[in-house]
Every structure is written in C-alpha cells, then in structure tokens.
C-alpha cells in the first residue's frame, strides 16, 4: 500500500497536534515530530528509548529552506546541498534559532537534510515546517525499511504510519560535518565518499572519532537480537559450522566469493554482489535471521569503497558491544 493524499494530510495534522508519524524516506523509515515543538521532539526519545544527548536530524522540503534552519551556510555546504538534495546526505551546521536544543542533544550544531522520497516530500510540503526524524525503531536495534517494520517495532508508540513502500537505499544518510574548514564524514551512508570528493574537488576525511555528536555513533547500533560475529570472507563457512556444532542457531551472510558453497547452519543469506543491492537489503537480512530464530550471525565485511564503506560501518556497529538490557 502507498500513502494517499488523505493519509498525508492526516499525518500533517498529527504533526501539528504534537504527535509522532512514521514516514518513509529513501534511506530508512523515520519517526517524525514537529522540529519546532520541544515536547513533541521529547516524545521521540521516550518512544525509541534514545538518550536525550543523541542528536536528531531535521528534515526539510528543499535546499532553499536551509538558511531558515541554520546560522550560516558555508560554501562547501551550499555546494553539497545543491548537488545532492533531495538525497541521502545530511549536513551538520551551526544551529539556527528555529531549532530547539531538544532536537540537537543540547549541541549548538544541527543535522539537516532533504529526503528523496515523494511521500516524505509531500508530507513536508503539507506540514509546512521541519520534521525531526531518526529511524523508527528502538534505540540501537535494526533500522526499519518498510512500514510493517515500523508497526512491528513501535506499535502504539507511533500515532500514524505513512506507507511509502520499501526504502530504495536501505541504509541511513551520509552525515558530513561542514562546520570547519575541511568537510568530514561522521557517518558513511547513501552518498559515497567518492561522490563527495568528486563534487568538492578534494579529499574528504572519515575520522574514527569526532567531537561532534551525530546519529549512529554509539558503539552498538543497527543491531539484531542475534550476536553478530565478523570474520574474513574465507573463514565464514568454517566459523559458522563450528558455532553450529557448539549449539548455536547460526545465521550466515554468505559473501559473493562463496556463492554455491554448502554451509551447515540454521539459516543462510546469500549476499548480493552489487553493493547497491546489499545496502538495500542489509537490514531486511538481519531481521530475517532474527525471525528465523538465529542467536548468532556470521558475516564478513565488504570492500570499503563506494557503498561498501556504509555497509561495513553498519556491520561493525551491529557487532559492537551490546547495549545494556
């Protein structure tokens, strides 16, 4: 089912009333609230179980609205916005007065993007303002890429869910800090490092740590219920079979180099050879293995070029230290 004009108007009304809306974007489904309503923004943190110090992304309808939400727009930010918006790119800039500190985790910076999805853009237009929208899932768990994922994850915690079909990109937006002299990728995502460098005409760093807090930086994030173990591609089969023999219900991400290999495991997902298809399906694969009862998932990292950088980032976070129960 795809959202209708009536659905979009209803969702806009929910936002105006201070409620929460599940909305599709090209990356993942978001949990949206009126970006200028501190009480509504606070509800997002409560429903997700998200620490209030963890900033949110403000979604706007068009690049020409950026000046309304930030203090200043450096040349690099303007260039990136003009080139990649609408699209899976988030820019970190100095907070404008319109943005409450509740939305920024108390920071004087704000993350902003224009989503590339007709339903999201129609909602932003009908609402007439900015919408804060982190992924519509419990904090730290696998991000949703369908409307059904949102309903299953949040239930009555979300007031209305807009169905825009499966997400086309499948992993979150790339977050770029443009507050300093040199742009830096704080979270790899749907826009690749190579694409950014081509537009900017210079190298773009991907620092391992940053003083700027942004979504997706927690040591454990994007994680299924099953424990994720990362090994070299050539060791996937042996590691999976050993874990199965030890009594685990093992799920396997079988890399393209091992397509056709026989694996003794509870469930096997053959990873697409295309990074685009892999990114699009990643969270669905993790959810599928959870639903099949796996308690351990064995996977390897893809080559960290293009979208492979974002996929590797998500798998590392999924395999990271677990959040407290």
Contact 63, 116 (CB under 8 A): no
> Smallest Cα–Cα separation from 206: which of 123, 309, 311?
309
Judged against a pLDDT cut of 90, whether residue 220 lies above it is answered with no
Q: In which region does residue 155 sit, left (phi positive, over 0), alpha (psi from -120 to 50) or beta (all else)?
A: left
At 182-205, the pLDDT tens digits run 999 999 999 999 999 999 999 999
Q: Tell me the average pLDDT across 279-304.
A: 97
At 170-179, the pLDDT tens digits run 999 999 999 9
Strands 57-59 and 30-34: unpaired
Q: 128: exposed, middle or buried (C-beta count within 10 Å: 0-12, 13-18, 19+)?
A: exposed
> Which residue would you say has higher pLDDT here, 142 or 1?
142
User: Would you state the structure tokens that stand for residue 156, as one six-digit string?
Assistant: 């009555």
How far apart, in whole angstroms, are the C-alpha atoms of residue 305 and residue 312? Answer: 10
């Amino acid at each position: 089912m795809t959202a209708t004009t009536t659905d979009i108007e209803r969702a806009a009304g929910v936002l105006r009333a201070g409620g929460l809306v599940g909305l599709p974007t090209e990356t993942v489904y978001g949990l949206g609230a009126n970006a200028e309503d501190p009480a509504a923004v606070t509800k997002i943190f409560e429903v997700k179980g998200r620490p209030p110090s963890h900033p949110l992304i403000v979604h706007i309808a068009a690049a020409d609205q950026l000046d309304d939400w930030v203090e200043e727009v450096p040349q690099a930010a303007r260039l990136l916005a003009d080139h990649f918006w609408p699209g899976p790119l988030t820019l970190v800039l100095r907070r404008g007065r319109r943005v409450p500190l509740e939305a920024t985790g108390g920071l004087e910076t704000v993350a902003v993007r224009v989503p590339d999805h007709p339903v999201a853009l129609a909602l932003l237009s009908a609402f007439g303002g900015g919408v804060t929208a982190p992924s519509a899932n419990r904090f730290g768990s696998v991000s949703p890429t369908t409307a059904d994922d949102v309903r299953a994850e949040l239930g009555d915690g979300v007031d209305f869910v807009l169905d825009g079909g499966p997400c086309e990109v499948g992993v979150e937006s790339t977050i770029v800090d443009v507050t300093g002299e040199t742009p830096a990728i704080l979270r790899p995502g749907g826009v690749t490092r190579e694409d950014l460098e081509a537009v900017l005409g210079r190298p773009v760093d991907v620092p391992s740590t940053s003083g700027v807090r942004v979504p997706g930086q927690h040591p454990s994030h994007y994680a299924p219920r099953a424990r994720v173990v990362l090994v070299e591609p050539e060791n996937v089969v042996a590691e999976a079979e050993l874990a199965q023999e030890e009594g685990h219900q093992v799920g396997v991400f079988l890399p393209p180099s091992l397509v056709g290999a026989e694996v003794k495991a509870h469930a096997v997902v053959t990873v697409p050879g295309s990074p685009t298809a892999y990114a699009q399906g990643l969270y669905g694969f993790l959810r599928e293995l959870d639903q099949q009862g796996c308690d351990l998932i064995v996977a390897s990292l893809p080559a960290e070029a293009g979208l492979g950088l974002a996929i590797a980032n998500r798998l590392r976070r999924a395999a990271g230290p677990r959040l407290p129960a």
